[in-house]
Structure 1
């Protein structure tokens, strides 16, 4: 973050650097990193430790972080930042019942995600209740490049937006770009031509995944869906011949319902 501020963003006189760093501190917390010290936050964000200490102190005072001795965690106050956004997302209310049924039928996990810079963020997830396979939860962030939901999200971008996103991923994630760049382009093209993409065990070991574009709303936000199923629950080419078409049909159904009720 400090390097970034020192570059092009740092020359933008309208850019509020301190605010940006404070938000990066909040973004550093993850389901697998729910409690961190100032040193750990500094390591995750690239912000120097002294600055992190001032930011965490301020965020505690504002009610966005809780402090327990030398560790910090998100406070419930942080939820107020996203609650209005999720409450207004009618598409989630429409999709939940069908997502849960598909997850139960296939023995997997069905999620809806959106774009966050070079990543995706899951904003809804349905899973099999008895599933012992570790599945992704609400708010989980992952890289766009290796994921079918990344293919499906970026397939909805304009050509100019897509070119900019490719450059953003190439610069921010050079190792992932080298490994998955070609497959990503193929996945995006598959979503555009066939309506879905498939990844077989190369990103999350032991699972196959299908992704489909869902819709782009009036604000330009792209939504996509994916379905991840443990390999041992699949046979032959089932991920492409059954899972992907069923997920595509689910997305079509959700789009139709959303189009019917939106003002």
Structure 2
């Protein structure tokens, strides 16, 4: 029996419906009921009822035997994004850094044992699969994961560790030493560096950005293909530039919302 099974207030059907919506990813934008069942762990009859309902409500669109997210799903996140001044302020500086170093610069937040990208700036080249709004990845092996978790209180950090151990045990067993070191690095020198762990052939730096009045943690990362880096550039230049970028964003926010 799971923790949610023991919670009398937990709406299981709603949770299953949200699991269906969450199953759609950039690499699987269109899926049949059988495919959705495979990725959610739900049985096919349940999935069929949920996709029918979600399509009737406008959140899914059916094309032949497959479903894809409808534009109505975007309405769920729009109230969050339109009020995120952080993204508007950070965007120009993120784009400049991405152009200067030939990589991508992203802002992300925590979602359970994952991070979610809210914004990404990149060079105008298709160097590798680039991160976009809503892209999800595990906290443990990623520099932005280190930077996000570095902003948690001790109690929150312990809860997050238990969550990661439970949800991503293989990643935790493999990357936990580097994760703990990265979190400590963010606290001591302001950024963490990951070399080819999450996306092979790239190095990345992550830096804490801020924690808002609602307790939401924001962090930034910069990922660059190894062939574009010189020497220890990720440590000597990119990490410190991310720190400066984050400080500039915080100062501008403080000016707008003193």
Common fold by TM > 0.5: yes
Q: Identify unmatched segments of 5+ residues in structure 2.
A: none
From 203, 212, 224, the counterpart of 1:229: 224
Residue of structure 2 equivalent to 1:260: 255
Conserved? CA contact 1:149–1:212, under 8 Å: yes
From 98, 102, 111, the counterpart of 2:106: 111
Residue of structure 1 equivalent to 2:149: 154
- Structure 2 counterparts to residues 1-263 of structure 1, below 5 A: 6-262=1-257
After TM superposition, the runs of 4+ consecutive aligned structure 1 residues lying more than 6 A away are none
Cα drift, residue 262 of structure 1: 2.0
Rounded Cα–Cα distance in structure 2 between residues aligned with 1:243 and 1:55: 46
Conserved? CA contact 1:107–1:131, under 8 Å: no
Q: How does the TM-score come out when normalised to structure 1?
A: 0.97
1:39-71 CA distance string (max 9 Å, x none): 111111111111111000000000000001110
Rounded Cα–Cα distance in structure 1 between residues aligned with 2:167 and 2:234: 31
Conserved? CA contact 2:142–2:197, under 8 Å: no
Moved more, 157-166 or 133-142: 133-142
Residue of structure 2 equivalent to 1:3: none
| Alignment size in residue pairs | 258
Rounded Cα–Cα distance in structure 2 between residues aligned with 1:24 and 1:161: 25
Rounded Cα–Cα distance in structure 2 between residues aligned with 1:249 and 1:37: 46
Q: Identify unmatched segments of 5+ residues in structure 1.
A: 1-5
1:92-137 CA distance string (max 9 Å, x none): 0000000000000010000000001100000000000124222211
Rounded Cα–Cα distance in structure 2 between residues aligned with 1:262 and 1:69: 50
Cα drift, residue 160 of structure 1: 0.5
Rounded Cα–Cα distance in structure 1 between residues aligned with 2:36 and 2:129: 25
Rounded Cα–Cα distance in structure 2 between residues aligned with 1:112 and 1:8: 31
Conserved? CA contact 1:170–1:177, under 8 Å: yes
SS at match of 1:205: coil
Rounded Cα–Cα distance in structure 2 between residues aligned with 1:172 and 1:235: 37
Rounded Cα–Cα distance in structure 1 between residues aligned with 2:175 and 2:63: 40
Rounded Cα–Cα distance in structure 1 between residues aligned with 2:67 and 2:128: 29
